[in-house]
């Protein structure tokens, strides 16, 4: 028998009310209940960052949260950044610098990079490297990602 709970939260600027199993992860709720599939399932253990979202302005691994923990909170996913004009430069820089490669880590990486730029608009390469430590990429070697984020924040220095 599963125990259900009603939760209400703001998702990408829109109030949502859903009923979830108390054991459901936030990642599964986003993908399977709400239908937002941009947030990726990678490791399920909080090691890869593919499922990075913002919760009340801070980045979190959604695979490590329960859906019921969203209750009363403000959540932003990669789909929410699509409507954010500040993220345009970041998206363009990822494409221009070839930082997308296979694209699997890109949503989580862009979420983390966006947070870095919001909290430190003049971030240097070392700050960016430190800021994306929790997000793994198997394709780019990170240089292209760091270059893209640096370009987005500082016009390429």
Q: Which of 6, 42, 43 is nearest to 24 (CA)?
A: 6
> Which residue do the tokens 């009340």 mark?
56
Alpha-carbon Rg for the chain in angstroms: 16
Model pTM above 0.85: yes
Answer with the one of 45, 60, 80 that is the final residue of a domain: 80
Answer with the one of 80, 114, 141 that is the final residue of a domain: 80
Does 72 lie in the same domain as 9?
yes
Q: Is the pLDDT of residue 75 over 70?
A: yes
Q: Is the pLDDT of residue 22 over 80?
A: yes
Answer with the one of 23, 55, 80 that is the final residue of a domain: 80
What is the model's pLDDT at position 156?
53
CA-CA distance, 23 to 111, in Å (whole number)? 25
Does 93 lie in the same domain as 70?
no
CATH of the domain at 61: 3.10.20.30
- The tally of domains found in the chain comes to 2
Q: Domain range holding 71? A: 4-80
CA 45-148-142 angle, 5° bins: 45
Does 110 lie in the same domain as 62?
no
For the chain, give the percent of residues with pLDDT over 70.
Answer: 97
Say which residues have a Cβ less than 8 Å from residue 129's Cβ, sequence separation at least 6. Answer: 142, 146
């Amino acid at each position: 028998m599963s125990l259900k709970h009603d939760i209400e939260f703001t998702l990408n600027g829109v109030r949502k009310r859903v009923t979830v199993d108390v054991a459901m992860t936030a990642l599964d709720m986003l993908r399977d209940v709400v239908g937002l599939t941009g947030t990726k399932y990678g490791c399920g253990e909080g090691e890869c960052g593919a499922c990075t979202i913002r919760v009340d302005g801070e980045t979190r691994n959604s695979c490590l949260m329960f859906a019921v923990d969203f209750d009363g909170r403000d959540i932003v996913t990669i789909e929410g950044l699509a409507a954010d004009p500040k993220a345009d430069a970041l998206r363009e820089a990822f494409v221009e610098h070839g930082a997308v490669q296979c694209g699997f880590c890109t949503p989580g990486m862009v979420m983390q990079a966006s947070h870095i730029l919001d909290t430190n608009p003049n971030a240097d390469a070392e700050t960016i490297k430190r800021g994306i430590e929790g997000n793994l990429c198997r394709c780019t070697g990170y240089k292209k990602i760091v270059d893209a984020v640096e370009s987005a924040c500082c016009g390429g220095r």
